[in-house]
Structure 1
Amino acid sequence: MADADEPAEIDVYTDRAHLLAVLVALFGGALSFTDPLTPGWPVLYVECPTGQLSWHIHPDDVWLFNNVPVVDDYPWDQHTTRVKCKRIRSLVQQLPKLTYAKPEYGNP
């Protein structure tokens, strides 16, 4: 049975938003309505050790970020998607492993 707070259908935006909720919980961040091309879609900014990361959040998924402050005119550092992906790859290399696969599935 679905949780009352969750949407009935899970699409790619909602799937991604769940992962982003973990990322912002780890590093902090803010929501801001800074993109004039997508009114109603907040931008999630996450400030991590490798630099700023950002994503547009579907309005139906904003409930996942109730604990994230909404900030007017949050400053975007002008990163591109390519730069964001490079920062994420670098972050993955820096983070310690918090858990491992079960032994029967092998261990990296």
Structure 2
Amino acid sequence: MLMQGFAGFLWLLYLAMLVLAVVALVMALLFRDDAYRAADKQNKGFWLIILGIVVAVNLFVPMLFLQIAGLIATIVFFVDVRPALSQVSGGKGWGRRGGGSSSDGPYGPYNGGR
């Protein structure tokens, strides 16, 4: 019974690593190629190849060592590359709406009914 619980936990861990790698791959696709050069990071093709290999390893090669190496590459993308790309892109990367203040609504600034 304990082994079944551990196997279920490992399955969830593998699934989480796969989802994280797929999200990183999609984010790497969304940034423009010149943003990678401007941020002084490796080029877009490099990150697409690395993250694509990570996704393939997570899907087809159930070796924990390779998956952990892929997790490290994914974490490097999220912690180092993506923030630099967002900064170079003017903060208009993944999940950012860009510009405006915190009181702006969908049709312009909210002034409290004045």
- Report the TM-score when normalising by structure 2: 0.29
- Flag the structure with higher strand content: 1
For the pair shown, the structure with the greater C-alpha radius of gyration is: 2
